[in-house]
Amino acid sequence: MSLSRLLSVNIYNDRGDAIPLSAVASVETTWEPAVRYLRDGVRMNTATANLQAGYGFNSALESMYAALEENPLPEGTRIALGGDAEGSGDANSALLTAAPIGVLLLLFFLLLQFNSFRRVGIILLTVPLATVGIFPGLVLSSSPFGFQSLLGVIALVGIVVNNAIVLLDVMDRQLAAGEGIRDAVRKAVEQRTRPILLTTATTVAGLLPLAFSSSTLWPPMAWAIISGLLASTVLTLLVIPAVCTQLIKAPVPEPENAPA
């Protein structure tokens, strides 16, 4: 009920006499919060916002921090981020915790496959070759480097090492057949260039719908994979054969009449 009607309400004493509430009570009205939100026993307010198309939460946070430098929060007030920023921070922590395990497993299986530290090093050389294209791709597509881009980089590592693996596998088979290192590398490139290029083309084609989607979640990951894969494919076909000819030597055949 309204305040004026509330003050006109009658209350009754022990004798049953009706007494207006305004005769025994004075009223002072002030604004008070209807609800108080607490988190861990601390009062809090929540500010939410939606992002305009084409913007990520990183750009929004940069603008917010710039505004807070000019107009800082009152003393005793702190700010905590939620939403995509909080989820990205938690995901980065989990990712960095699991990444060393993935790297160790990758090295273990590569060593199990090739039984050569030198060959494993050549295969891992494709990873920095991929990073050559990642950052230009993100810059040209105006994509932020955040958790999704980092996820694309990690996925890219598993893709680009395949190109070097198939090249070295064919090269080793040619070496085992008695070919020289240069002939073995040349035949490996001749045999595997078309499959590598087709695999790259199909991967890029499959990622293009995500890259051009209106979502703020998937384009950074897609562009990181696309640009890194294109650069790595070209550089792998040029750099890896040159490195193999310098670091890998053809096995020396044992004489047929060698003493037992």
Rounded to an integer, the average pLDDT of 138-144 is 79
Query: Average model confidence (pLDDT) for the chain?
Result: 82
- pLDDT for residue 97: 78
Rounded to an integer, the average pLDDT of 133-157 is 80
Rounded to an integer, the average pLDDT of 148-161 is 82
- pLDDT for residue 178: 82
Task: Kindly tell me if the per-residue pLDDT of 252 is higher than 70.
Answer: no
Element (H, E) at 87: helix 83-114
- pLDDT for residue 255: 56
- pLDDT for residue 89: 67
Give the separation between CA 8 and CA 59, rounded to whole angstroms: 57
Print burial letters for 208-225: b (CB count within 10 Å at least 16), e (below 16).
eebbeeeebebbbbbbbb
Residue 200 contacts residue 167 (beta carbons within 8 Å):
no
Is 42 within the bounds of a domain?
no
Is 173 within the bounds of a domain?
yes
pLDDT digits (tens, 9 = 90+) for 44-67: 888 888 877 666 677 778 888 888
Is 111 within the bounds of a domain?
yes
Distant-in-sequence contacts of 122-126, Cβ < 8 A, 24+ apart: 122/164, 122/168, 122/240, 122/243, 122/244, 122/247, 122/248, 123/161, 123/164, 123/165, 123/168, 124/161, 125/164, 125/239, 125/240, 125/243, 126/160, 126/161, 126/163, 126/164, 126/232, 126/235, 126/236, 126/240
- pLDDT band at residue 251, thresholds of 50, 70 and 90? low
Is 191 within the bounds of a domain?
yes
pTM above 0.75, yes or no: no
Residue of 46, 47, 49, 44 whose CA lies nearest to 76: 44
pLDDT digits (tens, 9 = 90+) for 200-229: 899 899 988 888 887 767 888 888 889 888
- pLDDT band at residue 126, thresholds of 50, 70 and 90? confident
Q: What angle do CA 34, 40, 43 make, to 5 degrees?
A: 35
- pLDDT for residue 256: 56
Is 231 within the bounds of a domain?
yes
Task: Kindly tell me if the per-residue pLDDT of 250 is higher than 80.
Answer: no
Is 151 within the bounds of a domain?
yes
Is 96 within the bounds of a domain?
no
Is 174 within the bounds of a domain?
yes
Rounded to an integer, the average pLDDT of 58-85 is 82
Residue 79 contacts residue 73 (beta carbons within 8 Å):
yes
Q: Find the CATH number of the domain harbouring 166.
A: 1.20.1640.10
- Percent of the chain scoring above 90 in pLDDT: 2
Residue of 194, 144, 175 whose CA lies nearest to 245: 175
**Domain carrying residue 178:** 105-247
Number of domains in the chain: 1
Sign for the pseudo-dihedral over CA of 184, 187, 193, 199: negative
Rounded to an integer, the average pLDDT of 5-33 is 83
Rounded to an integer, the average pLDDT of 168-189 is 86
- pLDDT for residue 37: 86
- pLDDT band at residue 120, thresholds of 50, 70 and 90? confident
Task: Kindly tell me if the per-residue pLDDT of 110 is higher than 70.
Answer: yes
- pLDDT for residue 202: 92
